[in-house]
Homo-oligomer: A and B are copies of this chain.
């Protein structure tokens, strides 16, 4: 069902913008229950292949497939999955007042308790990524007692803190002097950067910048 509809779209029998038959018509045509048709079409709509609206019916999306789902893996697992040996070094851990840009992004006041954790993840002994993180201790007080010399803040938070929503951004940056030193590269070299902030209801949980060594790419299938 799902596959048959996809096939008709790919064969261009149903083209972008076209309306396709109603659920009950398709159910008769395929000789199945409407619920089955509904499930198949809803899945295709979630994938961005179809546009569905009550009363207006179902149409092939104008720009089908304009979505990609990325895995955001734990760095350790990513390294180990490539068969490399992972290592990790904690560089800075301090209770400190974040710079105003961070405070603003997290919606924090100057007197909110925050902890900064800066560490380097390495693959086969070579620096792979810098993790520069600020944790809101008011929301995750347990983090103050966690042993970030053994497990990365990245990994600790994934299993010990929950979030309701967040945002993530990918960009290209020139390595700063400090970043270059940690990654053993020259300053101003292009590096791939991921900025992520997560929230629990109205409160920021943590914000992190991951700065990857040159050559890093995020890859996914469509």
Contacts and interface: CB of A to CB of B under 8 A. Distances in A.
A71 B67 CA distance: 5
A167 interface: yes
A202 interface: no
A10 B66 contact: no
Interface in A171-222: 171-174, 188-193, 196, 198, 200, 212, 214, 216-222
Interface stretch (A100-108, A113-121, A156-164): A156-164
A171 B221 contact: no
Determine which residue in A65, A74, A200 has the highest number of CB atoms from chain B within 10 A of its CB, and name it: A65
B169 A218 contact: yes
A217 B168 CA distance: 10
Given A165-B222, A191-B172, A222-B166, A159 B62 contact: yes
Given A171-B218, A191-B172, A217-B171, A68 B69 contact: yes
Determine which residue in A16, A170, A218 has the highest number of CB atoms from chain B within 10 A of its CB, and name it: A170
Contact of A16 (B9, B159, B189, B221): B159
A172 B188 CA distance: 12
A189 B191 CA distance: 11
Contacts of A174: 189-190
Contact of A66 (B71, B164, B190, B214): B71
B170 A218 contact: yes
A10 B172 contact: no
Nearest to A214: B172
Nearest to A192: B172
A143 to B, nearest CB: 14
A56 interface: no
Contacts of A173: 172, 190
Nearest to A159: B16
Interface in A58-80: 62-74, 77
A17 B25 CA distance: 43
A80 to B, nearest CB: 13
Contact of A158 (B63, B165, B189, B221): B63
Nearest to A175: B190
